[in-house]
Amino acid sequence: PLMRLGLRLEAAPDALRQACEGDIRDMEAMISATLSYLRDTTKQGVRKPLDLRSLAETVTDDMSDRGASVTLAPGDPVVIEGNSTALKAMLNNLVTNALKYAGSAEVSLAEADGQALIEVRDDGPGVPPEDLERVFEPFFRGERSRNRDTGGIGLGLASARAVARAHGGDLTIRNREEGGLSALVTLPV
């Protein structure tokens, strides 16, 4: 139906066509995000041993190459059994959120008590305390404007938590005492 709408718009006046094409792109993005969320919450995916540090380097290096202010703290490899595609998407989402709301991201990895720990920190405004758990609800947007350029559609953190939980772990966020936000992923080693 969206493709048919696009074809029908070709004969429309420029202003109407451009506005509708923007709406069609937004709808396609929403559908894509919804399908990703559903996939992340229902599909296990292929799991094999992987080094989380290498995966995090891929994400942070790619973003740094595009000019983003993102760092990965040095450390040892952290190997788990996991779905690399899903875990990469989860980490990408967390870093992208930090960049969007704070302008920079600091990523660190560690292993403690049989758990792999991935932390993404920023120096942004944080999240109101009453929303710290709500941000994981599908379609909840902490940025209350309807502008998807500033607030997305509200599936990113829900999807990221679904990936962590599908791997037997969890994702939590907290406001940092010194300001900013910390997203902590725990995964069994």
Distance CA 107, CA 152 (A): 22
- Measured in whole angstroms, the distance separating CA 120 from the mean position of its chain's CA atoms is 11
Query: Does the pLDDT of residue 136 top 90, yes or no?
Result: no
pLDDT at 145: 41
Cα(183)–Cα(176) distance, rounded to whole angstroms?
10
Scanning 13-155, the segments in alpha helix (DSSP H) are 14-42, 52-65, 84-102, 148-151
- Give the Cα-Cα-Cα angle 73, 91, 49 (nearest 5 degrees): 85
Residues 57-84: what's their mean pLDDT?
94
Whether the pLDDT of residue 34 is over 50: the answer is yes
pLDDT over 90, % of the chain: 53
The more confident residue out of 141 and 83 is 83
In the predicted structure, residue 154 carries a pLDDT above the cut 90: no
Q: Which amino acid, 46?
A: V
- For residue range 164-181, what is the model confidence (pLDDT) as tens digits? 998 999 999 999 999 999
Who wins on pLDDT, 186 or 25?
186
Beta strand 69-72 pairing with 79-82: unpaired
Tell me: the pLDDT tens digits for 76-90? Answer: 999 999 999 889 999
Instruction: pLDDT band for 146, please (50, 70, 90 cuts).
Output: very low
